[in-house]
A and B are shown apart, each in its own frame.
Chain A
Amino acid sequence: MSDGAARRSWMLALPVLALLLWVVAFPNVAVIAGSFENGFGHWREFIASPSDREALTTSIVISLASVVASVLIGVPLAFLLSRFEFPGRRILRAVATLPAALPPLVGVIAFLFLYGESGVVARGVQTALGMEEAPWRLTGVWAIIFVHAYTMYVYVFLFVSAGLERFDVTLDEAASGLGASSWHRLRKVTLPLLTPALAGSMLLVFMTSLGSFSAPYVFGGGIRVLSTQIVASKLNGSLGLAYVETTVLALSAVAGLVLFRWLERKRKYTSSGKGGATRRIIRSRRAQTIAAVLSSLTVIVLVLPHLMVILVSFAVDGSWTTQVLPPEYTLDNYRRLVAESQLWKPIVNSVSMAVIATAANVVVCFVAAYLIVLRTFSGRALLELLVALPWAIPATAIALGLAATFNRNDLLAGRVLLVGTFWILPLAYFIRGIPLVSTAVEGSLRQLDASLEDAARGLGASWWLTMKRVVLPAARPGLVAGALLAGVTAVGEFVAGVVLYTHANRPISIEILAQLRALAFGTAAAYSVLLIVLVLIMTLAARGLEERIA
């Protein structure tokens, strides 16, 4: 590479590196430094506190249990849907990924309406059996794992399905031709080859569970986990302790990352497979009936939370107390969202903050991905690390890092007062979006033959023309997909909101919680439906854009 090209790479890289060091790396340093502000005092406090020790254990236990539960649901479902043809397969396939489309808080309140002690199912069982009280309470570790399993099995399902899609079926045929029984085949050939996909999805579930805030916050009852403990400590004013808890949470996440990545790498093979397994048709009458019944039940379980939120969104606030279903319905909840400025404001906030954050993601992450994939310069490893970092750090920790860093004006120390202003939340959303958009764009750019850029330059195109006509078009599918993910995450974001919101920029999720606390279930549900609709609109818009590109 010529000196000129190297200089240009650095000119592009410097501002991006500086920005990422400032908003991604620095807050983590501030948190770690904060945890040591009185020597080991806060750390001793953490170790001595039974509730903190409990929170750490519970966090890890819940995360591992969520991984196990997601695998137990996701793997069989992936096998069933990719290897067999049975009545109800299409509809089951269509709704199998539905839970992932629910913003975390919405999923949680849907479960509350459905399976909570005052929820439809509990009340239904109570009425049917003539019991005095609700048959169960949806609290504690099991409740959290239940919600996690419902929303996170989708990762396992998607990864394993993709693995099976690419799976070279002749390997399976070769094994059976050599005399292996189906069990032997599964154990010795299929599963070992799916390990990378499985480990990747397990990692995703583990990280998401560890950082999960909505479920423990709403269903925790007396249970303590690190992510809720951090927020509690901060609200109590024990900032030092909150920093220690944040550091411990981040370290647990990194440990999980190392563990699952090791598992993934250990079993990585290049497969020459052309995939394309044909689905076995289930022919026996009895098996067909069983399949039809089971898949209908699964479909109902999967769509019920969505239907429940929609139903409750029409319930008159305060009317639903001990009845099985809400007794009175109205369109008023929706009318009020639009008509009352107090209720309309959070919608405007969430949408505008998501747009700002995503727009920033698109610009910064495009440059970062371009530098990572198509340029060689000495700062590349650092850039890759900075771009991936927000993914390894739970959202609570990111939020606390921002709170610790941008809490005062001290330009010499690299601090600007953003806490308490509108801008702190878009910044938090932006940081969470960085790995999502960068990974997607990197994926797209990797498919671009590096010599195309050289060819364009060789034909006399300027750097700018090459960028516009060769690099940017190649990056576009990744930009659209990444921006969709980042936008969807931002518009329903909850954790950073809890830590950082002010009255002026309160997002929809915070308002949902406020309405829930005021027992205005109808309004909370109407907000939730609105969030689902926003996610749907964004998905459709992205799909439209993708089609225009293709």
Chain B
Amino acid sequence: MSSGSLALERITRRFGEHVAVNDLTLEVPAGELLALIGASGSGKTTTLRITAGYETPDSGRVLLDGNEITALPPQKRGFGMVFQHYALFPHMPVEENVAFGLEARGVGRAMRLERAGAALQSVGLGGAGRRSIQSLSGGEQQRVALARALVIEPKALLLDEPLSNLDPTLRQTTRDELRAMLHRVGVPALFVTHDQEDAFAIADRIALIRQGTLLQVGTPEDLYDRPASLEVAKFIGRATILPAEDLGDRVGVTIAALRREFASTRPAGSEPTFASARVVLRPDALEIAPAAEDGWKGKVINRRFTGGSAVYRVQVAGDTVIEIASSNMGLREGDVTGVRVVREPLPVVKA
């Protein structure tokens, strides 16, 4: 185990009959940003709370730098946490909020206010120290919460939906800032989000969980291009998922009696071929090809402009509709067009 890493080892947590976290194992090395994603109720927040010490697992261990901290209360872990609604103390001005963790560590008033000031500076809020929490915008509150977590020189950073309360434009810039900031700190960072775009934009690796069980952990590209299962393929990104013929390193796809074969990738460690398989067609792996002989033909039933490109829904057979992203924006609903695969290999998963 590498120095300074944060690890969860076979964590299970039940609430009555409900299993919130099921035998979950994860490791976040120092300096890595791991995003924990999943639908609401998937157990991601419980996992974060167990890591922070607000919940105790029924079984399993939490390790920091190889030392077990499962039973250590939150105040002794020295983690920096950013809460979903920020949990800023409404009765303290900004600087006292940021200095609170230092106060708890017995740092003298002058010293802690100085360090709080520096932390505020680093999140771009220098000079806001005396302002009241109520006077801050959502984005400013988020940055104060981050400064408060950073000023204690945390051994790990935990973020619970840190971007969910920001408006869309602010969200874009905050993603980049957050990623840069977290990398600078150089400690393991675990952040929970239900938004995969946030996860793609910020994280080094992504762990996808469903009903408390880890489905796949890997780089964003891994999850997108090499999904471990049908569930992962459905959850991550947009995709048209069709029945397919698994040939090992090739895949056969038949639409409207027209069969085509492509190079394929398969989940690591799976059996040589799946008896019943599905192919994952990402919109960006396909292209509109008006005169393609090697593709399928279909009718555009919906067109959505996305700025610089268009997303078409093309009906290629009675009940088969494929989604295609294209820089060709000339087609309209009702047009007949060809469709072909432009990016291989195609991911194949077990049905």
Contact = CB atoms under 8 A, between A and B. Distances in A.
A174 B80 CA distance: 9
A171 B91 CA distance: 11
Contacts of A175: 89, 100, 104
Nearest to A274: B85
A272 to B, nearest CB: 6
Given A188-B100, A270-B134, A174 B81 contact: yes
B83 interface: yes
A170 B87 contact: yes
Nearest to A172: B87
3 smallest CB-CB distances across A and B, nearest first, come from: A178-B101, A174-B87, A269-B90
B252 interface: no
Contacts of A2: none
B305 interface: no
Given A174-B81, A177-B75, A180-B75, A192 B91 contact: yes
A44 interface: no
Contact of A176 (B73, B83, B90, B152): B73
A181 B81 CA distance: 16
Contacts of B75: 176-181
Contacts of B90: 193, 269-271
Interface residues of A, number: 22
A188 B76 CA distance: 18
A173 B54 contact: yes
A184 B88 CA distance: 16
Given A178-B101, A180-B100, A270-B134, A173 B91 contact: no
Contacts of A170: 83-85, 87
A184 to B, nearest CB: 6
Contact of B87 (A173, A180, A188, A270): A173
A170 B161 CA distance: 14
Contacts of A184: 103-104
Interface of B: 52-54, 73-81, 83-85, 87-91, 100-101, 103-105, 134, 148, 152
A270 B85 CA distance: 14
Interface in A180-209: 180-181, 184, 188-189, 192-193
A168 interface: yes
Contacts of A267: 91
Please indicate which of the listed interface residues B52, B85, B134 has the most CB atoms of chain A within 10 Å of its own CB: B85
Contacts of B103: 180, 184, 188
A28 to B, nearest CB: 37
B102 to A, nearest CB: 9
Contact of A193 (B74, B88, B91, B104): B91
Contacts of B81: 173-174, 177
Given A173-B52, A175-B89, 9 more contacts: A170-B85, A173-B74, A173-B81, A174-B83, A177-B53, A177-B74, A179-B75, A179-B101, A179-B152
Nearest to B82: A174
Nearest to A192: B91
Interface in A123-180: 168, 170-171, 173-180
A180 B77 CA distance: 11
6 contacts: A170-B84, A174-B88, A177-B80, A180-B104, A184-B104, A271-B90
A292 B332 CA distance: 75
A167 B78 CA distance: 24
Contact of B100 (A178, A192, A193, A269): A178
B76 to A, nearest CB: 8
Contacts of B104: 175, 178-181, 184
A192 B81 CA distance: 22
Contacts of B78: 179
Nearest to A174: B87
B305 to A, nearest CB: 37
A180 B148 CA distance: 13
Contacts of A176: 73-75
A26 to B, nearest CB: 43
Contacts of A174: 81, 83, 87-89, 148
Contacts of B148: 174, 178
Contacts of A177: 52-54, 74-75, 77, 79-81
Given A179-B152, A271-B90, A173 B100 contact: no
Nearest to B134: A270
A424 B65 CA distance: 80
Nearest to A182: B75
A204 to B, nearest CB: 23
A174 B49 CA distance: 11
A269 B52 contact: no
A460 B258 CA distance: 65
Please indicate which of the listed interface residues A179, A184, A188, A269 has the most CB atoms of chain B within 10 Å of its own CB: A179
Nearest to A170: B87
Contacts of B85: 168, 170, 272
Interface string A246-279: 0000000000000000000001011110000000
Interface in A258-313: 267, 269-272
A179 B105 contact: yes
Given A177-B79, A179-B75, A179-B78, A269 B101 contact: no
A523 to B, nearest CB: 54
B87 A171 contact: yes
A83 to B, nearest CB: 15
Given A177-B79, A178-B101, A171 B89 contact: yes
Given A179-B101, A180-B104, A269-B90, A173 B152 contact: no
A445 to B, nearest CB: 26
Contacts of A271: 90
Nearest to A169: B87
B135 to A, nearest CB: 12
A272 B52 CA distance: 22
Interface string A398-413: 0000000000000000
Interface in A214-271: 267, 269-271
B46 to A, nearest CB: 13
A199 to B, nearest CB: 14
Nearest to A180: B104
B152 A178 contact: yes
Nearest to B96: A188
A188 B99 CA distance: 13
Please indicate which of the listed interface residues B80, B89, B101 has the most CB atoms of chain A within 10 Å of its own CB: B89
Contacts of A181: 75, 104
A184 B100 CA distance: 10
B56 to A, nearest CB: 12
A192 B89 CA distance: 10
A201 B141 CA distance: 32
A168 B148 CA distance: 18
Contacts of B105: 179
